[in-house]
Amino acid sequence: LAKTRGRNGWCRYEPWLTEQAMERFELERNLRRAVERQEFRLHYQPLTTLDGRPFGVEALLRWRSSEHGDVPPDRFIGMAEETGMIVQIGNWVMQEACRQAQTWRKAGIDLQVMAVNLSPIQFLHADVVQQVAQTLRQTGLPARCLELEITEGALMQDTDHAEQALLALRELGVHVVIDDFGTGYSSLAYLRRFALDKLKVDRTFLQGLPDSASDAQLVRTIMQLGQGLGLQVLVEGVETEAQRAWLAAEGCRWCQGFLFARPMSATALAAWWPTDPPTQAIPDWQPQPA
């Protein structure tokens, strides 16, 4: 019962409102003010080769609420989606991430990719392409440096829209990657149908590696599937040296995980990024145009 309250914006005290429901209502109220109060920040987690050399970053949203302290995205992104606030918040994220990427590039940081998470709500929005184009224009970031991460669910909700949006984004020069691959819809036909060229293996599959034979087989199969279809495959959630070694033996080239770097503030990222040019060329994460 308590779950249904709050969406239409009113709340009076009812004894049946559990403490948890009250907390949720408060969270939602404060989320509405978070943009204007400038409580959002972006953290950046390096995307690396298997030997830890960075070629890009993923922007990850952080909310420091004056009332609730640091609130993890898993606690507020869903709420922002249900209430529609994610469109405004997501536009801010894209703008800020692209601005930061262009600042870094001008400062000599060799960033091939700024990856930005797009909520299904944003992706299904009619003017998503226009929004992306405008952000690139305003920030000056080259389109090839922007990568949008969307989930399988976002593609499957309205496949005609998805197909058109992906083509238009490709036309702009922006890349789209399937995030959390393997956790969403089981239909694989869309991998052929849509203009996609990359996928990120969900980190839940990494957790049992290298000991779990079934997890190992799953990750191996996903990597082979991606490679067989000509997609670039990145594995997320690499935490241990044993996982890294296993992935290296399986021919994995790109990854992301706490083993190499955690998400960090813009200042920390700039200090962390290697200043020496790499001794070997970093394999190109951006697929070569066909």
Q: Which of 65, 119, 131, 139 binds ligand C2E (CB under 6 A)?
A: 119
Nearer to ligand C2E, 28 or 149 (CB): 149
Answer yes or no whether residue 39 interacts with Mg ion by CB under 5 A: no
Which of ligand C2E, Mg ion, none is residue 237 near (CB under 5 to 8 Å by kind)? Answer: ligand C2E
Question: CB within 8 A of 108, min separation 6: which ones?
Answer: none
Answer yes or no whether residue 151 interacts with Mg ion by CB under 5 A: no
Which of Mg ion, ligand C2E, none is residue 96 near (CB under 5 to 8 Å by kind)? Answer: none
Q: Which three-class secondary structure string do you get for 221-244? A: HHHHHHHHCCCEEEEECCCCHHHH
Q: What is the DSSP code (8-state) at residue 4?
A: G
Nearer to Mg ion, 6 or 263 (CB): 263
Q: How far apart are CA 121 and CA 4, in angstroms?
A: 21
Nearer to ligand C2E, 217 or 258 (CB): 258
Helix H segments across 71-182? 73-82, 86-106, 120-124, 128-139, 152-157, 159-172
Q: Which of residues 190-229 bind ligand C2E (CB under 6 A)?
A: 203
Q: How far is the CB of 123 from Mg ion (least distance, A)?
A: 13
Q: How far is CA 123 from the centre of its chain?
A: 13
Q: How far apart are CA 151 and CA 177, in angstroms?
A: 8
Q: How far is the CB of 9 from Mg ion (least distance, A)?
A: 29
Q: How far apart are CA 143 and CA 137, in angstroms?
A: 9
> Site residues (CB under 6 A) for ligand C2E?
45, 60-61, 72-74, 77, 90, 93, 117, 119, 149, 179-180, 203, 236-239, 256-258, 263
